[in-house]
Structures are given as structure tokens and as C-alpha cells.
Amino acid sequence: MTTTPGTEYPFAPVPPTEAVKHLGRIIADRPMTKMTMPYGGDVWLVHRNAAAREILSDRRFVREPFRTGERVVPFFVPFPDFLRGTLQFEDPPQHTKLRKLVQKAISPKRVREMRDSAVAFANELIDGMIDRGGVRDLVPEYSLSLPIEMLSNLLGVPSSDREKFERWSSSTLAVAGKSEAEVAADMAELAAYMTDLIAERREEPRDDLLSALAHARDRDETLTDAEILPIAFILIVGGFDNTATFLSTGVLALLSDDEQRARFTADPDGLAATTAEEVLRHGGFATGRPAGGGGGLVPFVATEDVVVDGQLIAKGDAVSIDPSAAGHDPAAVTDPARFDIARPDNPHLTLSHGLHHCLGAPLARMELQVGLAELFKRIPELRLAGEPVFSRDVLTQPMTSLPVTW
């Protein structure tokens, strides 16, 4: 078999600018590539931004066969079982019902109301780092603490239980470094904790998401503990692990680019929103770490033959969106290799799009905006004091350490 030089997919990590060029060549060549995943077989990985949006908005692509176990999720690792029980894997109308319940609790309006407390808490954390001085580790002392506090407020769980959440989260997404028995024990502990809390909120409702879910059951007989638990699980997992990594990545990206950092420190509040979007699109590349091609969001299955951008996706085929490629598609993004924190139009798909767009997107965006702005307002002279560390033991390969000083 021959391949066209420079358009192979997947491809191993290369310097970020080369990766962007490589993605550009693939995008020029074809809208998607069929590849065999380490688990679950073949999947179409979609590179082009417009084709990706079309698929994410088309209800002929569903997730039911993954949820029921009829199909194995084509993925890099065995897909965590508990995630298949979440609303990410539901299709309408059940998806609509569950999503509506959660939606109001993390709506744009609610998140806007949480913004002041996020600013206050970010500043408390910064005060602590300044008091301690020397070299600080930004990940545990800031990037993780901020989203965990926000999530604790939202769910109505005591932030003093933060350490448990970190352990449970890393356990649910563990791909190495923990035995199956350890993971199972952590999951059981998490389920028991949440079940108790839901029961408490049924007795004494508060103004929090768990109370809303617990009492939604009273209004609608069909919402059971079995439905509430996975929602709580995915919020705990998705609620801080990803946001913490985005925040750490954003800080590292700014510390890696003198020009953009100077621009940001000159107007952190004015540039926070566009900077957050640019971090979501290109932050990983802007840190200078080698970038590869072969990533994908959670896949869908085609319920009938569908032609997208000239390519037939046959009934029963799995299809997934490659957000790195979609965020670097020259047809959708001007000068995609440039880290531009004032980029006015940024149609990246890192938080997906359509029916299954990230439920916590408003919260994640707010935390990223506040986290970056407050840090660089208070410590504009922030600089790296060592190499960042990433964990390969967890599905999302989060940044676990980022030494900084000032």
C-alpha cells in the first residue's frame, strides 16, 4: 500500500508547528480518515470543521449501541464502564429529559451568578501562594482547587471533601497505576457518598444541583437514583479534571509566549474571554509540547448511510470528531498555527457542539476566564520554575505539576 507523503493519520507527536502543517495537509486531502482504534475496532475520524459540525448536528448519528453494550466504544483505552451510563450516551428523548434537569443548574445565568465567588476564591488561593512564596506548584495550589471549589458549591457537597473527589476522579478515569480492585473500591465509595447525600437533600433541600435532581424525582416518577448517580458522577469527573488541565495549559501557554503574555497582562479582563477560547483551541500546541494526530471525542454510530462532505459513512459505522484538526482547519480558522489571544472568531470544537456539547461549558469557560485573569492581574511577573509533569495513568493525561515563581 502506498500513502501520500505527509498526510498519514494518525501520526506520532511532532513539534507543534509541524503538527499544524500536517493537519492542514490531511484536511486538504480528505474530510475524514477511517482508522482502527486500540479498542473497539474502526472509526471515522473527522478532520474538517464544517463536516464535524454537520455530523454533530445530525440526529442520524446516535450513541445508543454503545450505551446498551451492543457495540464496544472505539477508543484508545477500554472506555470506562460508568461513563457509558451517563447522559452522554443517551439519545433523545431520554437525553432531553435528563439534560434539562441539569441544564438550569449550570446555565449561563447561574454561572454568571457564580462568577463573583470564583473571583473571590481565586484571589484567596493566590493570597495563599503569595504568602508561602518561593516556588509554588500551580496545579494543586490553584488550577485544581478553583474548579473543585466551584463544583462543590454547585453540587452542594462540602469542599472539605475535596481530596476524596480528587481520588475518586482519578480512579474513575484511571488507565494505569491502580488495580481493578482499588478502582472498584473507590467507585463504590463514591456511589455510597453520593447516595447518602441525595437522601439528605431529599430530606432537607438546599439551593444546589443535587437538591434539584433529588426533588425532580418527586415531580417526575421516572427519575431514579440510578439516573441521578451517573449525572453526579460525570459532573464530578468532568467538572474539575478537564477544567484544571485547561487552566494549567492556559497558564503554561502564556508563560511560553512573551508577546501574548505581555498583551494579556496589559488587559486581563478585556482579553479573558478570547484568551480562554484560544487556550481551548490551541493551548496544548502553544505550550510547545509535541503534538500528534489521532485524537477523537466520544464516537457516534450512523443509523443509516449518510454522505458528509462527499464521504459515505455507512449505516453502522462509528464516527468521531478530531477536535485538534477541526480547531486547525484553515477553512474555519485564520492562520491556525498562531496563538492569538484576541482571535475574534474561534469556532473550535474542543467542547463539542450540537446535542452533546459539553454540559459544563459555561462553567468551564467562566473558570478558565477568571482563573487566568485573576492570576496574571495579581502576579504579572509569574514565570516557570521547572518542567511541567503529565500523568499517563489517567485517561485524560492531565498536567499534575506546574512549578512557578515570580
Site residues for other proteins per CB under 8 A: 53, 56-57, 96, 99-100, 103-104, 107-112, 273, 344-345, 347, 351, 353-355, 357, 361-362, 365-366
- Closer CB to other proteins, residue 152 or residue 350? 350
The dihedral region occupied by 40, where left means phi > 0, alpha psi between -120 and 50, and beta the remainder, is: left
Beta bridge partners of 39: 75
Q: How far is the CB of 355 from other proteins (least distance, A)?
A: 5
- Cell representation of residue 403: 512549578
Q: How far is the CB of 276 from other proteins (least distance, A)?
A: 10
Nearest to 56 by CA among 349, 305, 312, 391: 349
- Closer CB to other proteins, residue 77 or residue 119? 119
Neighbours of 243 (CB within 10 A): 25
The span from the CA of 172 to the CA of 168, in Å, is 6
Nearest to 67 by CA among 40, 90, 51, 93: 90
- Closer CB to other proteins, residue 315 or residue 357? 357
| Strand, helix or coil for residue 255 | helix
- Cell representation of residue 372: 487566568
| Strand, helix or coil for residue 130 | helix
Measured at the alpha carbon of residue 233, what is the angle toward residues 273 and 272, in degrees to the nearest 5?
5
DSSP states of 38-69: TBTEEEEEE--HHHHHHHHT-TTEE-HHHHHT
Q: How far is the CB of 349 from other proteins (least distance, A)?
A: 10
- Closer CB to other proteins, residue 4 or residue 96? 96
The span from the CA of 283 to the CA of 224, in Å, is 39
Q: How far is the CB of 107 from other proteins (least distance, A)?
A: 3
Q: How far is the CB of 93 from other proteins (least distance, A)?
A: 12
- Closer CB to other proteins, residue 26 or residue 349? 349
DSSP 174: B
Q: How far is the CB of 157 from other proteins (least distance, A)?
A: 22
- Closer CB to other proteins, residue 230 or residue 388? 230
- Closer CB to other proteins, residue 100 or residue 132? 100
| Strand, helix or coil for residue 334 | coil
Measured at the alpha carbon of residue 192, what is the angle toward residues 191 and 197, in degrees to the nearest 5?
100
- Residues comprising the chain, all counted: 406
- Closer CB to other proteins, residue 72 or residue 342? 342
Q: Does residue 279 contact residue 249 with C-beta atoms inside 8 Å? A: yes
Q: How far is the CB of 357 from other proteins (least distance, A)?
A: 5
The dihedral region occupied by 45, where left means phi > 0, alpha psi between -120 and 50, and beta the remainder, is: beta
Neighbours of 262 (CB within 10 A): 11
Q: How far is the CB of 162 from other proteins (least distance, A)?
A: 26
- Closer CB to other proteins, residue 65 or residue 354? 354
- Closer CB to other proteins, residue 132 or residue 357? 357
Q: 318-321 and 41-46: which strand pairing?
A: parallel
